[in-house]
Chains A and B, each alone.
Chain A
């Protein structure tokens, strides 16, 4: 069975704080892809990152960084110096290599207050 767990339902921070969104996944597949998507108040999900299970290098993109640890089945997402525009629901997702069904976690709602 495949499953994505985002234990944090809601997080509230003050602008400029760093925040980490947790994602833990379960899969029996040896190769797979992991994703993060952002859903702003407008409702349209926006792709943030895709990571192949073979690539455990951490990635940084501006204020965003991702920590993939296969040993703990985690793919955590950190926003540095958060801004009000970061307020959104963030989804972690899993897709087996060669498969078509992307499985999403329940999402973490992030509130960034000015």
Chain B
């Protein structure tokens, strides 16, 4: 049951350009969404989150957009840097839960110098 989907397993972007990572969800009970970055042999690193009462949240080079009607969120990284190369996971939390995360399958971002 894939409640959170990342349909692009990989993405390559030139350094300095925008990276756009996409995520779709099916569970309308999700009310909080997060993006994590993961390097090999490390744990996921929290990047940015957004509550369902908002449609945009920005933190430095990272912006998350939420379209509730489409059940879609995206992460924009501008400008992309080679150090951003990692696997990016979106995750979602249902309302009323003990905040367990449901993860997508991840997108491998490669930023080319």
Task: Answer yes or no: are A and B bound together in one complex.
Answer: no
